Structure 1
Amino acid sequence: MALATPNWHIHRDADHLAQALAEAIARIAAESIAQRGAFHLVLAGGHTPASTYARLPQLGRRWQDWHLYYGDERYLPPGHPERNDSMVEAQWTGKVPIPAQQHHRLALVDDPEAAAVAYARILPPQDFDLVLLGLGEDGHCASLFPGHALGLDAGAPAVLAVDNAAKPPPRRITLSGWRLLRSRKRFFVVTGAAKAAAISRWRAGEPLPAAQLGAGAEVWMDPEAARWPTP
Protein backbone atom coordinates (compact mmCIF):
# COMPACT_ATOMS: atom_id res chain seq x y z
CA MET A 1 0.00 0.00 0.00
CA ALA A 2 1.32 3.44 -0.92
CA LEU A 3 2.14 5.73 1.95
CA ALA A 4 0.21 8.96 2.34
CA THR A 5 1.74 11.78 0.33
CA PRO A 6 2.69 15.20 1.64
CA ASN A 7 1.88 18.58 0.16
CA TRP A 8 4.23 19.33 -2.75
CA HIS A 9 5.29 22.91 -3.47
CA ILE A 10 7.40 23.86 -6.51
CA HIS A 11 9.12 27.23 -6.31
CA ARG A 12 10.42 29.31 -9.20
CA ASP A 13 14.07 28.60 -8.43
CA ALA A 14 16.34 27.74 -5.52
CA ASP A 15 16.81 31.40 -4.52
CA HIS A 16 13.07 32.02 -4.44
CA LEU A 17 12.62 28.86 -2.37
CA ALA A 18 15.29 29.95 0.13
CA GLN A 19 13.71 33.36 0.61
CA ALA A 20 10.17 31.99 0.93
CA LEU A 21 11.32 29.35 3.39
CA ALA A 22 13.22 31.87 5.53
CA GLU A 23 10.12 34.06 5.65
CA ALA A 24 7.97 31.05 6.62
CA ILE A 25 10.37 30.09 9.44
CA ALA A 26 10.36 33.65 10.77
CA ARG A 27 6.56 33.77 10.62
CA ILE A 28 6.13 30.42 12.40
CA ALA A 29 8.64 31.55 15.02
CA ALA A 30 6.68 34.73 15.69
CA GLU A 31 3.41 32.79 15.94
CA SER A 32 4.91 30.17 18.27
CA ILE A 33 6.43 32.79 20.55
CA ALA A 34 3.17 34.74 20.66
CA GLN A 35 1.15 31.62 21.48
CA ARG A 36 3.52 29.59 23.68
CA GLY A 37 6.40 31.89 24.62
CA ALA A 38 9.08 29.97 22.71
CA PHE A 39 9.99 28.55 19.31
CA HIS A 40 11.48 25.04 19.17
CA LEU A 41 13.09 24.39 15.78
CA VAL A 42 14.88 21.28 14.49
CA LEU A 43 17.50 22.14 11.89
CA ALA A 44 18.44 20.23 8.76
CA GLY A 45 22.09 20.03 7.81
CA GLY A 46 23.87 19.64 4.50
CA HIS A 47 24.24 22.24 1.76
CA THR A 48 20.59 22.72 0.75
CA PRO A 49 19.30 24.85 3.67
CA ALA A 50 22.43 27.03 3.96
CA SER A 51 21.05 29.86 1.82
CA THR A 52 17.83 29.85 3.86
CA TYR A 53 19.77 30.14 7.12
CA ALA A 54 21.81 33.01 5.67
CA ARG A 55 18.60 35.02 5.24
CA LEU A 56 17.31 34.54 8.78
CA PRO A 57 19.42 37.22 10.53
CA GLN A 58 17.46 39.87 8.62
CA LEU A 59 14.06 38.29 9.27
CA GLY A 60 13.98 36.82 12.76
CA ARG A 61 12.92 38.63 15.94
CA ARG A 62 13.01 37.86 19.67
CA TRP A 63 16.03 35.62 19.34
CA GLN A 64 16.01 35.07 23.10
CA ASP A 65 12.95 32.84 22.61
CA TRP A 66 14.42 30.58 19.90
CA HIS A 67 15.54 27.04 20.82
CA LEU A 68 17.54 25.16 18.18
CA TYR A 69 18.11 21.41 17.84
CA TYR A 70 19.65 19.25 15.14
CA GLY A 71 17.87 16.47 13.27
CA ASP A 72 21.25 14.84 12.89
CA GLU A 73 24.93 15.58 13.31
CA ARG A 74 28.17 14.08 12.07
CA TYR A 75 30.23 12.55 14.88
CA LEU A 76 33.17 14.87 14.32
CA PRO A 77 35.12 17.20 16.65
CA PRO A 78 33.54 20.58 17.54
CA GLY A 79 34.35 23.20 14.93
CA HIS A 80 34.95 20.63 12.17
CA PRO A 81 33.83 22.15 8.84
CA GLU A 82 31.68 19.12 8.00
CA ARG A 83 29.58 19.39 11.16
CA ASN A 84 26.11 20.76 10.60
CA ASP A 85 26.44 23.20 13.49
CA SER A 86 29.54 24.71 11.88
CA MET A 87 27.53 25.55 8.76
CA VAL A 88 24.63 26.91 10.81
CA GLU A 89 26.92 29.12 12.86
CA ALA A 90 28.70 30.50 9.79
CA GLN A 91 25.47 31.27 7.97
CA TRP A 92 23.21 32.35 10.80
CA THR A 93 23.69 31.82 14.52
CA GLY A 94 27.06 33.55 14.69
CA LYS A 95 25.26 36.75 13.65
CA VAL A 96 22.29 36.80 16.06
CA PRO A 97 21.93 36.74 19.89
CA ILE A 98 20.33 33.32 20.39
CA PRO A 99 21.43 32.30 23.93
CA ALA A 100 24.20 29.71 23.74
CA GLN A 101 22.32 27.40 26.12
CA GLN A 102 19.38 27.37 23.68
CA HIS A 103 21.50 26.37 20.68
CA HIS A 104 21.63 22.67 21.40
CA ARG A 105 24.71 21.29 19.66
CA LEU A 106 25.79 17.69 19.89
CA ALA A 107 28.44 17.23 22.57
CA LEU A 108 31.21 14.82 21.64
CA VAL A 109 31.18 12.44 24.62
CA ASP A 110 32.72 8.96 24.86
CA ASP A 111 31.12 7.32 21.81
CA PRO A 112 28.07 7.76 19.55
CA GLU A 113 25.82 5.69 21.83
CA ALA A 114 26.67 7.84 24.85
CA ALA A 115 26.32 11.00 22.77
CA ALA A 116 22.85 9.89 21.64
CA VAL A 117 21.74 9.31 25.23
CA ALA A 118 23.11 12.70 26.28
CA TYR A 119 21.39 14.51 23.40
CA ALA A 120 18.05 12.84 24.16
CA ARG A 121 18.13 14.38 27.63
CA ILE A 122 18.11 17.95 26.29
CA LEU A 123 15.14 17.50 23.92
CA PRO A 124 11.99 19.36 25.00
CA PRO A 125 9.13 17.36 26.51
CA GLN A 126 6.65 18.99 24.15
CA ASP A 127 6.34 18.69 20.36
CA PHE A 128 8.74 20.70 18.23
CA ASP A 129 7.15 23.70 16.54
CA LEU A 130 8.92 23.03 13.23
CA VAL A 131 11.20 20.29 11.90
CA LEU A 132 13.32 20.93 8.80
CA LEU A 133 14.48 17.88 6.85
CA GLY A 134 16.44 17.31 3.68
CA LEU A 135 16.29 14.41 1.23
CA GLY A 136 19.21 12.25 0.14
CA GLU A 137 19.54 10.72 -3.30
CA ASP A 138 18.75 7.34 -1.72
CA GLY A 139 15.64 8.70 0.03
CA HIS A 140 17.18 9.16 3.48
CA CYS A 141 16.36 12.08 5.75
CA ALA A 142 18.25 13.25 8.82
CA SER A 143 20.60 10.25 9.20
CA LEU A 144 17.81 7.71 8.80
CA PHE A 145 19.01 5.59 5.87
CA PRO A 146 17.29 2.83 3.85
CA GLY A 147 17.95 -0.55 5.39
CA HIS A 148 18.65 0.94 8.84
CA ALA A 149 16.39 1.21 11.87
CA LEU A 150 14.24 4.32 11.56
CA GLY A 151 13.07 4.41 15.17
CA LEU A 152 9.41 4.85 14.27
CA ASP A 153 8.18 2.81 17.20
CA ALA A 154 7.54 4.98 20.26
CA GLY A 155 9.54 2.46 22.27
CA ALA A 156 12.68 3.34 20.33
CA PRO A 157 15.16 5.84 21.78
CA ALA A 158 14.50 9.48 20.89
CA VAL A 159 18.04 9.75 19.51
CA LEU A 160 19.90 7.02 17.63
CA ALA A 161 23.59 6.36 17.11
CA VAL A 162 24.58 5.48 13.54
CA ASP A 163 27.84 3.61 13.07
CA ASN A 164 27.71 2.67 9.37
CA ALA A 165 25.94 5.44 7.49
CA ALA A 166 25.60 4.93 3.74
CA LYS A 167 27.55 8.13 3.07
CA PRO A 168 30.56 9.64 4.84
CA PRO A 169 31.19 10.21 7.59
CA PRO A 170 29.86 6.82 8.74
CA ARG A 171 29.43 7.75 12.43
CA ARG A 172 26.47 10.04 13.12
CA ILE A 173 23.75 10.88 15.63
CA THR A 174 20.15 11.27 14.48
CA LEU A 175 16.77 11.97 16.00
CA SER A 176 14.58 8.90 15.62
CA GLY A 177 11.59 8.78 13.33
CA TRP A 178 8.99 8.99 16.09
CA ARG A 179 10.70 11.99 17.70
CA LEU A 180 10.87 13.86 14.39
CA LEU A 181 7.17 13.14 13.89
CA ARG A 182 6.39 14.82 17.21
CA SER A 183 6.20 18.24 15.58
CA ARG A 184 3.52 20.71 14.70
CA LYS A 185 4.97 21.18 11.22
CA ARG A 186 7.53 19.34 9.08
CA PHE A 187 9.17 20.89 6.03
CA PHE A 188 11.34 18.91 3.60
CA VAL A 189 13.70 21.13 1.61
CA VAL A 190 14.82 19.59 -1.70
CA THR A 191 16.77 21.23 -4.51
CA GLY A 192 18.74 20.07 -7.53
CA ALA A 193 18.35 17.51 -10.29
CA ALA A 194 20.23 14.89 -8.27
CA LYS A 195 17.21 14.63 -5.94
CA ALA A 196 14.59 14.23 -8.70
CA ALA A 197 14.78 10.43 -8.82
CA ALA A 198 14.25 10.15 -5.07
CA ILE A 199 11.25 12.47 -5.29
CA SER A 200 9.85 10.33 -8.10
CA ARG A 201 10.29 7.13 -6.07
CA TRP A 202 8.62 8.81 -3.09
CA ARG A 203 5.67 9.86 -5.24
CA ALA A 204 5.44 6.33 -6.66
CA GLY A 205 4.83 5.00 -3.16
CA GLU A 206 8.17 3.45 -2.27
CA PRO A 207 8.61 3.24 1.52
CA LEU A 208 11.71 5.42 1.59
CA PRO A 209 12.68 6.83 4.99
CA ALA A 210 11.56 10.29 3.84
CA ALA A 211 8.21 8.91 2.72
CA GLN A 212 7.66 7.29 6.11
CA LEU A 213 8.15 10.66 7.80
CA GLY A 214 6.46 12.67 5.07
CA ALA A 215 2.72 12.16 5.56
CA GLY A 216 1.20 15.56 6.22
CA ALA A 217 4.52 17.33 5.67
CA GLU A 218 5.28 20.18 3.28
CA VAL A 219 7.89 19.48 0.59
CA TRP A 220 9.61 22.60 -0.76
CA MET A 221 11.26 21.98 -4.16
CA ASP A 222 12.91 23.85 -6.98
CA PRO A 223 12.05 22.91 -10.61
CA GLU A 224 15.14 20.71 -10.94
CA ALA A 225 14.10 18.48 -8.05
CA ALA A 226 10.49 18.39 -9.26
CA ARG A 227 11.01 16.85 -12.69
CA TRP A 228 9.51 13.50 -11.62
CA PRO A 229 11.61 11.13 -13.76
CA THR A 230 10.24 7.61 -14.08
CA PRO A 231 11.88 5.36 -11.48
Structure 2
Amino acid sequence: METARHRNTWHIHPDPEALARRLAAAVARMAREAITARGAFHLVVAGGTTPRAAYALLPQLGSDWQCWHLYHGDERCLPPQDPDRNSLMLDTVWLSRVPIPTRQIHHIPAERGADVAARDYAAVLPPHAFDLVLLGVGEDGHTASLFPGHDWGMAKNGPATIAVHDAAKAPPQRVSLSGWRLQYTREMFFMAAGGGKRSALTAWRQGEPIPAATVGTTADIWLDNTAWPEVVPGTI
Protein backbone atom coordinates (compact mmCIF):
# COMPACT_ATOMS: atom_id res chain seq x y z
CA MET A 1 0.00 0.00 0.00
CA GLU A 2 1.36 3.44 -0.92
CA THR A 3 -0.23 6.78 -0.14
CA ALA A 4 1.17 10.07 -1.42
CA ARG A 5 0.79 13.37 0.39
CA HIS A 6 2.50 16.48 -0.93
CA ARG A 7 6.06 15.36 -1.72
CA ASN A 8 6.11 12.38 0.64
CA THR A 9 5.27 8.79 -0.27
CA TRP A 10 4.14 6.43 2.49
CA HIS A 11 4.90 2.73 2.06
CA ILE A 12 2.92 0.59 4.52
CA HIS A 13 3.74 -3.10 4.99
CA PRO A 14 1.97 -5.80 7.02
CA ASP A 15 4.77 -6.45 9.51
CA PRO A 16 8.43 -5.57 10.28
CA GLU A 17 9.70 -8.59 8.34
CA ALA A 18 7.96 -7.53 5.14
CA LEU A 19 9.15 -3.97 5.69
CA ALA A 20 12.77 -5.15 6.02
CA ARG A 21 12.57 -7.29 2.87
CA ARG A 22 11.10 -4.54 0.73
CA LEU A 23 13.46 -1.91 2.11
CA ALA A 24 16.55 -4.06 1.52
CA ALA A 25 15.43 -4.78 -2.03
CA ALA A 26 14.91 -1.06 -2.67
CA VAL A 27 18.38 -0.16 -1.35
CA ALA A 28 20.00 -2.87 -3.48
CA ARG A 29 18.10 -1.67 -6.55
CA MET A 30 19.12 1.93 -5.99
CA ALA A 31 22.74 0.86 -5.57
CA ARG A 32 22.68 -0.92 -8.92
CA GLU A 33 21.13 2.11 -10.62
CA ALA A 34 23.64 4.54 -9.10
CA ILE A 35 26.62 2.36 -9.98
CA THR A 36 25.38 1.96 -13.55
CA ALA A 37 24.79 5.71 -13.91
CA ARG A 38 27.70 7.18 -11.95
CA GLY A 39 30.09 4.36 -11.04
CA ALA A 40 29.52 4.59 -7.26
CA PHE A 41 26.80 4.43 -4.60
CA HIS A 42 27.05 6.88 -1.69
CA LEU A 43 24.75 5.75 1.14
CA VAL A 44 24.04 7.29 4.55
CA VAL A 45 22.95 4.64 7.05
CA ALA A 46 20.74 4.91 10.12
CA GLY A 47 20.97 3.09 13.42
CA GLY A 48 18.17 1.31 15.26
CA THR A 49 16.33 -1.99 15.18
CA THR A 50 14.18 -1.30 12.11
CA PRO A 51 17.05 -0.82 9.62
CA ARG A 52 19.09 -3.57 11.31
CA ALA A 53 16.81 -6.25 9.85
CA ALA A 54 17.17 -4.76 6.37
CA TYR A 55 20.96 -4.52 6.66
CA ALA A 56 21.11 -8.22 7.55
CA LEU A 57 19.47 -9.04 4.20
CA LEU A 58 21.73 -6.88 2.03
CA PRO A 59 24.62 -9.38 1.71
CA GLN A 60 22.22 -11.62 -0.23
CA LEU A 61 20.95 -8.82 -2.47
CA GLY A 62 23.80 -6.39 -3.11
CA SER A 63 26.56 -6.53 -5.70
CA ASP A 64 29.52 -4.49 -6.93
CA TRP A 65 30.51 -3.90 -3.31
CA GLN A 66 33.73 -2.19 -4.36
CA CYS A 67 31.58 0.73 -5.56
CA TRP A 68 29.72 1.30 -2.27
CA HIS A 69 30.62 4.25 0.00
CA LEU A 70 29.01 4.34 3.44
CA TYR A 71 28.47 7.20 5.90
CA HIS A 72 26.51 7.54 9.14
CA GLY A 73 23.68 9.95 9.80
CA ASP A 74 24.64 10.06 13.47
CA GLU A 75 26.57 8.26 16.19
CA ARG A 76 26.65 8.06 19.97
CA CYS A 77 29.83 9.20 21.73
CA LEU A 78 30.74 5.81 23.18
CA PRO A 79 33.75 3.46 22.84
CA PRO A 80 33.93 1.68 19.46
CA GLN A 81 33.01 -1.70 20.96
CA ASP A 82 30.05 -0.43 22.98
CA PRO A 83 26.91 -2.39 21.96
CA ASP A 84 24.99 0.88 21.51
CA ARG A 85 27.31 2.11 18.77
CA ASN A 86 25.66 2.23 15.35
CA SER A 87 28.99 1.36 13.74
CA LEU A 88 29.28 -1.89 15.72
CA MET A 89 25.76 -2.94 14.73
CA LEU A 90 26.52 -2.24 11.09
CA ASP A 91 29.79 -4.18 11.19
CA THR A 92 28.14 -7.14 12.92
CA VAL A 93 25.08 -7.66 10.75
CA TRP A 94 26.32 -6.47 7.37
CA LEU A 95 29.81 -5.10 6.74
CA SER A 96 31.70 -8.13 8.09
CA ARG A 97 29.95 -10.20 5.41
CA VAL A 98 30.69 -8.13 2.28
CA PRO A 99 33.91 -6.85 0.63
CA ILE A 100 33.32 -3.10 0.72
CA PRO A 101 36.82 -1.54 0.82
CA THR A 102 37.64 -0.31 4.32
CA ARG A 103 38.63 3.12 3.00
CA GLN A 104 35.04 3.53 1.74
CA ILE A 105 33.41 2.81 5.11
CA HIS A 106 33.27 6.10 6.97
CA HIS A 107 32.36 5.51 10.60
CA ILE A 108 31.99 8.60 12.79
CA PRO A 109 34.93 8.69 15.27
CA ALA A 110 32.56 9.56 18.10
CA GLU A 111 34.87 8.11 20.75
CA ARG A 112 36.93 11.32 20.31
CA GLY A 113 34.11 13.39 21.82
CA ALA A 114 31.33 15.29 20.11
CA ASP A 115 33.23 18.44 19.13
CA VAL A 116 36.34 16.77 17.72
CA ALA A 117 34.38 13.99 16.02
CA ALA A 118 31.98 16.43 14.35
CA ARG A 119 34.89 18.50 13.02
CA ASP A 120 36.77 15.45 11.77
CA TYR A 121 33.75 13.83 10.19
CA ALA A 122 32.81 16.93 8.23
CA ALA A 123 36.13 16.58 6.43
CA VAL A 124 35.35 13.09 5.08
CA LEU A 125 31.90 13.84 3.66
CA PRO A 126 31.74 14.03 -0.14
CA PRO A 127 31.34 17.42 -1.82
CA HIS A 128 28.48 16.07 -3.95
CA ALA A 129 25.02 14.84 -3.02
CA PHE A 130 24.53 11.44 -1.44
CA ASP A 131 22.64 8.88 -3.52
CA LEU A 132 20.45 7.72 -0.64
CA VAL A 133 19.99 8.78 2.99
CA LEU A 134 18.35 6.33 5.42
CA LEU A 135 16.77 7.79 8.56
CA GLY A 136 14.66 6.64 11.46
CA VAL A 137 11.88 8.40 13.35
CA GLY A 138 11.98 8.59 17.16
CA GLU A 139 8.92 8.52 19.37
CA ASP A 140 9.44 12.26 19.97
CA GLY A 141 9.83 12.91 16.23
CA HIS A 142 13.62 13.17 16.24
CA THR A 143 15.70 11.86 13.36
CA ALA A 144 19.44 11.10 13.33
CA SER A 145 20.43 13.01 16.51
CA LEU A 146 18.33 16.07 15.69
CA PHE A 147 15.99 16.42 18.68
CA PRO A 148 13.01 18.72 19.34
CA GLY A 149 14.06 21.99 20.92
CA HIS A 150 17.55 21.91 19.42
CA ASP A 151 19.19 23.50 16.39
CA TRP A 152 18.72 21.09 13.51
CA GLY A 153 21.22 22.76 11.21
CA MET A 154 18.84 23.60 8.38
CA ALA A 155 20.72 26.72 7.18
CA LYS A 156 22.54 25.91 3.95
CA ASN A 157 25.59 27.94 4.95
CA GLY A 158 25.89 26.11 8.28
CA PRO A 159 28.18 23.20 9.16
CA ALA A 160 27.57 19.75 7.69
CA THR A 161 27.90 18.11 11.09
CA ILE A 162 26.58 18.96 14.55
CA ALA A 163 28.13 18.22 17.94
CA VAL A 164 25.29 17.33 20.34
CA HIS A 165 26.00 17.68 24.06
CA ASP A 166 22.55 17.40 25.63
CA ALA A 167 20.55 14.84 23.64
CA ALA A 168 17.12 14.00 24.99
CA LYS A 169 18.09 10.32 25.03
CA ALA A 170 21.19 8.72 26.53
CA PRO A 171 24.00 9.12 25.87
CA PRO A 172 23.82 12.93 25.85
CA GLN A 173 26.88 13.39 23.62
CA ARG A 174 26.39 12.53 19.97
CA VAL A 175 27.43 13.58 16.48
CA SER A 176 24.86 14.12 13.75
CA LEU A 177 24.81 15.25 10.16
CA SER A 178 22.99 18.56 9.99
CA GLY A 179 19.53 18.83 8.53
CA TRP A 180 20.63 20.51 5.33
CA ARG A 181 23.41 17.96 4.72
CA LEU A 182 20.95 15.10 5.17
CA GLN A 183 18.71 16.78 2.60
CA TYR A 184 21.57 17.06 0.11
CA THR A 185 20.77 13.70 -1.43
CA ARG A 186 19.13 12.24 -4.50
CA GLU A 187 16.74 10.11 -2.42
CA MET A 188 15.73 9.92 1.24
CA PHE A 189 14.05 7.00 3.06
CA PHE A 190 12.59 7.09 6.57
CA MET A 191 11.85 3.84 8.43
CA ALA A 192 9.56 3.19 11.39
CA ALA A 193 7.96 0.10 12.90
CA GLY A 194 5.81 -0.45 15.98
CA GLY A 195 2.97 1.38 17.68
CA GLY A 196 5.38 3.55 19.66
CA LYS A 197 6.09 5.58 16.51
CA ARG A 198 2.44 6.27 15.68
CA SER A 199 2.10 9.54 17.58
CA ALA A 200 5.18 11.03 15.90
CA LEU A 201 3.94 9.94 12.49
CA THR A 202 0.51 11.39 13.22
CA ALA A 203 2.20 14.69 14.08
CA TRP A 204 4.09 14.50 10.77
CA ARG A 205 0.91 13.92 8.78
CA GLN A 206 -0.82 16.78 10.62
CA GLY A 207 1.93 19.15 9.53
CA GLU A 208 3.60 19.66 12.89
CA PRO A 209 7.25 20.82 12.62
CA ILE A 210 8.92 17.80 14.20
CA PRO A 211 12.55 17.21 13.17
CA ALA A 212 11.75 14.21 10.94
CA ALA A 213 9.12 16.14 8.96
CA THR A 214 11.32 19.22 8.68
CA VAL A 215 14.21 17.20 7.26
CA GLY A 216 12.00 14.86 5.24
CA THR A 217 10.17 17.36 3.06
CA THR A 218 10.76 15.08 0.08
CA ALA A 219 11.06 11.50 1.25
CA ASP A 220 9.72 7.97 1.13
CA ILE A 221 8.50 6.78 4.54
CA TRP A 222 8.56 3.02 5.08
CA LEU A 223 6.28 1.69 7.84
CA ASP A 224 4.65 -1.43 9.17
CA ASN A 225 0.92 -1.50 9.87
CA THR A 226 1.26 -0.86 13.58
CA ALA A 227 3.19 2.37 13.00
CA TRP A 228 0.75 3.73 10.43
CA PRO A 229 -1.38 6.45 12.08
CA GLU A 230 -5.14 6.65 11.76
CA VAL A 231 -6.34 8.74 8.85
CA VAL A 232 -6.18 12.38 9.87
CA PRO A 233 -9.14 14.46 8.60
CA GLY A 234 -8.08 16.86 5.87
CA THR A 235 -4.66 15.28 5.26
CA ILE A 236 -5.50 12.91 2.40
TM-score bracket for this pair, using the shorter chain length: over 0.9
Once superposed, which parts of structure 1, at least 4 consecutive aligned residues long, lie more than 2 Å away? Answer: 108-111, 227-230
Equivalent residues in 2 for 1:190-201, closer than 5 Å: 190-201=192-203
Share of identical aligned residues, percent?
53
3-state SS of 2:123 partner: helix
**Which residue number in structure 1 is paired with residue 170 of structure 2?**
168
Q: String of CA shifts for 1:175-208, please: whole Å, max 9, x gaps.
A: 0000000000000001000000100011111000
Distance 2:113 2:74 in 1: 15
Residue 175 of structure 2 aligns with an amino acid whose one-letter code is I
Q: 1:108 to 1:218 in 2, by over 3 A?
A: closer
Pairwise CA distance, 1:109: 6.1
Distance 1:180 1:78 in 2: 24
Q: String of CA shifts for 1:1-27, please: whole Å, max 9, x gaps.
A: xx9551111112111110011000000
- 2:114 alignment partner, one of 93, 100, 112: 112
3-state SS of 1:219 partner: strand
Pairwise CA distance, 1:225: 0.2
- 1:219 alignment partner, one of 218, 221, 228: 221
More displaced 10-residue stretch of structure 1: 220-229 or 184-193: 220-229
Pairwise CA distance, 1:228: 2.8
Distance 1:82 1:47 in 2: 11
Distance 2:223 2:129 in 1: 25
Larger % of strand: which?
2
Distance 1:217 1:123 in 2: 21
How many residue pairs are counted as aligned between the two chains?
228
Q: String of CA shifts for 1:43-92, please: whole Å, max 9, x gaps.
A: 00011111000000000001000000000000111121100011111110
3-state SS of 1:154 partner: coil
Pairwise CA distance, 1:108: 4.1
Say whether the 8 Å CA contact 2:110–2:175 is kept in structure 1. Answer: no
Distance 2:43 2:67 in 1: 11
3-state SS of 2:221 partner: strand
**Which residue number in structure 1 is paired with residue 86 of structure 2?**
84
Segments of structure 1 that go 5 or more residues without pairing to the other structure are: none
Whether 2:230 is the aligned partner of 1:228: answer: yes
Superposition CA RMSD, Å: 1.4
Equivalent residues in 2 for 1:73-152, closer than 5 Å: 73-108=75-110, 110-152=112-154
Residue 41 of structure 1 aligns with an amino acid whose one-letter code is L
TM-score (norm. length: structure 2): 0.93
Compare relative contact order (CA 8 Å, sep 6+) and give the higher one, 1 or 2.
1
